């Protein structure tokens, strides 16, 4: 998605934002005993950081006389991948009926991001007192589960000897599926395509979320209506109907189809020898899971993060305030802002938090040869930095020791990460997905090679985020971001999928820093899901439908 207009405060836009509900289960172990005559009566309070302040979201019930509580009440939170969602879990010993927390004894607390919890699925951590010291031997265990029914039903259906409705021809039949609404009326869920001029239609297989069709309840009755002569004003002619359930539809197998009589109640009342208005055949019915991004993360998929930094001469002398690499008195610049914005989100999804940081377009000591793929910590055998802080430290430390040069070649770094992504495919599991963040100030010099590298990388578990700093013309970057057209290599080969996300930093200079992360990471969840689905790879620890 190319961001070209100044951004307004972002909100969910269709399905590109990964928003779903996560259920958190809380247990405590070896809690402090604050009561003299009995054991503590603990309860847990959940806070979320909003604009720098802790806001209470919810509380569990109180576990009476229990130092090892497993709380029945669950916390339910909206999960946003592209945001840092800071949470705090505080435990108290209930002493009075007051809702004021200062009236109760403090048993300890633990803070982390929601991303940390979902990337591990389950974590156990030490509870801390207000002074940062351990709360005795007290521990807290937090387990995450996605709250959604991701099952989908795929139906393959046909009709036989449907009633003829046209004096001169045949019917144009289609099916409509209804479920009972909250008001007791039937609610339309799905309509098939119209098959022209036939009394023996065969409809294309179609897939519907199970929640949409029957609220996820297999035994719930649904109604199938057979119509003909589709009218856009809704005045379709009625052939017949029948009621069934998903459980019944699931009896259909490829070898033994299920047949349902299509009944027209008016004809049934009028004609004594009325049998039916045709047969609807369920040729096959399959229920599968439509896995989400969170399913893959909870299943153990790690996001492998690499940074590529542009050290070409067009950035300017880093000693000069006019340089894009100049680190101002506040200790930042646009390169560092982009690293922080993206890195602080993604680092939660990598268990060892060791990230390769590479540079390109600079001359390196001692022989001052130009390199387009060098470790900014000057350790080619181990280019890994510890966390985002490690990347920032290595970046600042390398600036005085290199000479900015050129040209601006992207392909070596893209191919570097692609080699690791290709190795990961040999596992044939949804265990790793690679993200390359390239921060650059200008026009790509090796456009043909870069296009080819992106097209090849589109076949791999890999996405590329490009942040353009400074005020250059970034038309070439927009070209790589295949939102409006399919990217082709110079040989004409098309990208299998769109894996490049470009944003110009200048559109985000005067907005909260979180806005850049949202724009940059908006498409990543669907790119991850799209790749693993295309490879028919379920989450590692997925359950059957």
Mean pLDDT over residues 487-507, rounded?
92
| Both structure tokens of 18 | 């990964």
- 2 domain residue, yes or no: no
pLDDT for the residue numbered 34: 84
Task: Name the 3-class secondary structure at 339.
Answer: helix
Q: Are residues 415 and 396 in the same domain?
A: yes
Establish if 540 belongs to a structural domain: no
> Per DSSP, what are the bridge partners of residue 209?
152
Taking residues 95-117, what's their average pLDDT? 93
pLDDT of 530 over the 50 cut? yes
What pLDDT shows up at residue 285?
95
Pick the last residue of a domain from 272, 289, 306: 289
Q: Is the pLDDT of residue 272 over 90?
A: no
Which of 132-136, 230-234, 504-508 shows the lowest per-residue confidence on average (mean pLDDT)? 230-234
pLDDT in tens, 285-302: 999 999 999 999 999 999
User: Do both 384 and 468 map to the same domain?
Assistant: yes
482 has a pLDDT exceeding 80: no
Asked whether the predicted pLDDT for residue 306 surpasses 80, the reply is yes
Say if 8 falls within a structural domain: no
57 plus 203 within the same structural domain: no
pLDDT(514) > 90:
no
Both 86 and 192 in a single domain? no
Contact at 8 Å (CB) between 261 and 225? Answer: no
Residues 260, 155 within the same domain: yes
How many of the other CB atoms lie within 10 Å of CB of 176?
A: 17
Q: Is 211 inside any structural domain?
A: yes
Same domain, 109 and 131: yes
- Do 320 and 446 belong to one domain? yes
- Chosen domain end from 236, 265, 289: 289
- Indicate whether 534 pLDDT > 70: yes
Highest mean pLDDT among 155-164, 191-200, 354-363, 475-484: 354-363
Q: Does residue 543 lie within any of the structural domains?
A: no
Residue 188's CATH number: 2.60.40.150
For residues 358 and 502, membership in a common domain is answered with yes
Confirm whether 126 is domain-assigned: yes
Residue 233 banded pLDDT, cuts 50, 70, 90: low
User: Which is more confidently placed, 16 or 470?
Assistant: 470
Q: How far is CA 221 from the centre of its chain?
A: 33
Task: Quote the distance between the C-alpha of residue 385 and its chain's center.
Answer: 26
Other CB atoms within 10 A of residue 150 CB: 18
Report d(CA 447, CA 450) in Å as an integer.
Answer: 5
Residues 216, 163 share a domain: yes
Numbers of helices and strands, H then E, in the chain: 12, 26
Distance CA 524, CA 535 (A): 17
Alpha helices (H) in 347-386, listed in sequence order: none
User: What is residue 353's predicted lDDT score, i.e. its pLDDT?
Assistant: 94
Whether residue 6 is predicted with pLDDT greater than 50 in this model: the reply is no
> In CATH, what number is assigned to the domain containing residue 329?
3.40.50.410
Please give the model's pTM, rounded to 2 decimal places.
0.80
Domain of 167 in residue numbering reads as: 151-289
Number of domains in the chain: 3
* pLDDT level of residue 358 (50, 70, 90 thresholds): very high
Q: What average pLDDT does range 234-255 have in this prediction?
A: 87
Task: Tell which residue, 458, 465, 340, 361, has the closest CA to residue 412.
Answer: 361
Q: Is 277 in contact with 240 (CB distance < 8 Å)?
A: yes
Evaluate if residue 138 carries a pLDDT over 60.
Answer: yes
Residue 40 contacts residue 33 (beta carbons within 8 Å): yes
Average pLDDT over residues 76-104: 92
Pair 413, 491 in one domain: yes
Residue 371 backbone phi and psi in degrees, to 5: -125, 140
Higher pLDDT pick, 84 / 485: 84
**Residue 314 structure tokens:** 């067009």
Q: Are residues 186 and 255 in the same domain?
A: yes
Residue 493 lies in a domain: yes
489 closest CA partner among 372, 408, 411: 411
Give me the pLDDT at residue 169, please: 63
Mean pLDDT of 55-77: 94
Residues 217 and 235 in one domain: yes
C-alpha distance from residue 519 to each of 83, 200, 511, 514, 516 (Å): 10, 50, 12, 9, 5
**Residues 482, 490: Cα–Cα separation, whole Å:** 15
Tell me, yes or no, whether 202 lies in a domain.
yes
Distance CA 47, CA 56 (A): 4
Which of 147, 168, 194 represents a domain boundary (last residue)? 147
């Amino acid at each position: 998605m190319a961001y070209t207009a100044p951004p307004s405060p972002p909100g969910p836009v269709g399905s590109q934002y990964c928003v779903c509900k996560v259920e958190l289960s809380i247990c405590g172990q070896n809690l402090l005993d604050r009561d003299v005559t009995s054991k503590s009566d603990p309860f847990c309070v959940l806070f979320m950081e909003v604009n720098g302040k802790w806001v209470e979201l919810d509380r569990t019930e109180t576990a009476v006389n229990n130092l090892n509580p497993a709380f029945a009440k669950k916390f339910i939170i909206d999960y946003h991948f592209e945001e840092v969602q800071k949470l705090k879990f505080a435990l108290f010993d209930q002493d009075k009926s007051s809702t004021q927390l200062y009236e109760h004894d403090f048993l300890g607390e633990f803070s982390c991001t929601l991303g940390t919890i979902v990337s591990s699925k389950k974590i156990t951590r030490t509870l801390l007192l207000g002074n940062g010291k351990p709360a005795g031997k007290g521990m807290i265990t937090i387990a995450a589960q996605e709250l959604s029914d991701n099952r989908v039903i795929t139906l393959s259906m046909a009709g036989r000897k449907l009633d003829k409705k046209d004096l001169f021809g045949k019917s144009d039949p289609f099916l409509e599926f209804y479920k009972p609404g909250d008001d007791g009326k039937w609610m339309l869920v799905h309509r098939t395509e119209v098959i022209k001029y036939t009394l023996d239609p065969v409809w294309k297989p179609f897939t519907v979320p199970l929640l949409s069709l029957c609220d996820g309840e297999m035994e719930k009755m649904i109604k199938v209506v057979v119509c003909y002569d589709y009218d856009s004003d809704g005045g379709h002619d009625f052939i017949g109907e029948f009621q069934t359930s998903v459980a019944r539809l699931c009896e259909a197998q490829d070898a033994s189809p299920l047949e349902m009589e299509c009944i027209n109640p008016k004809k049934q009342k009028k004609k004594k020898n009325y049998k039916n208005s045709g047969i609807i055949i369920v040729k096959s019915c399959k229920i599968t899971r439509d896995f989400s991004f969170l399913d893959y993360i909870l299943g153990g998929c790690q996001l492998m993060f690499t940074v590529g930094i542009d050290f070409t001469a067009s950035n300017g002398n880093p000693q000069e305030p006019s340089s894009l690499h100049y680190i101002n008195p506040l200790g930042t610049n646009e390169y560092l802002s982009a690293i922080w914005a993206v890195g602080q989100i993604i680092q939660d999804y990598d268990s060892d938090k060791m990230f390769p940081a590479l540079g390109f377009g600079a001359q390196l000591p001692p022989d001052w040869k130009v390199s387009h793929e060098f470790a900014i910590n000057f350790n080619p055998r181990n280019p890994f930095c510890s966390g985002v802080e490690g990347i920032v430290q290595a970046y600042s430390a390398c600036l005085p020791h290199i000479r900015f040069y050129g040209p601006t070649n992207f392909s070596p770094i893209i191919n570097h990460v692609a080699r690791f992504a290709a190795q990961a495919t040999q596992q044939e599991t949804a265990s790793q997905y690679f993200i390359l963040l390239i921060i650059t100030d200008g026009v790509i010099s090796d456009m043909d090679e870069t296009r080819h590298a992106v097209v090849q990388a589109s076949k791999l578990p890999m996405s590329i985020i490009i942040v353009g700093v400074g005020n250059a013309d970034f038309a070439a970057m927009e070209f790589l971001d295949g939102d409006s057209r399919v990217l082709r290599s110079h040989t004409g080969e098309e990208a299998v999928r769109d894996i490049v996300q470009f944003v110009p930093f200048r559109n985000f200079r005067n907005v909260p820093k979180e806005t850049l992360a949202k724009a940059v990471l908006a498409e990543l969840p669907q790119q991850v899901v799209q790749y693993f689905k295309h490879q028919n790879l379920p989450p590692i620890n997925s359950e059957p439908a």
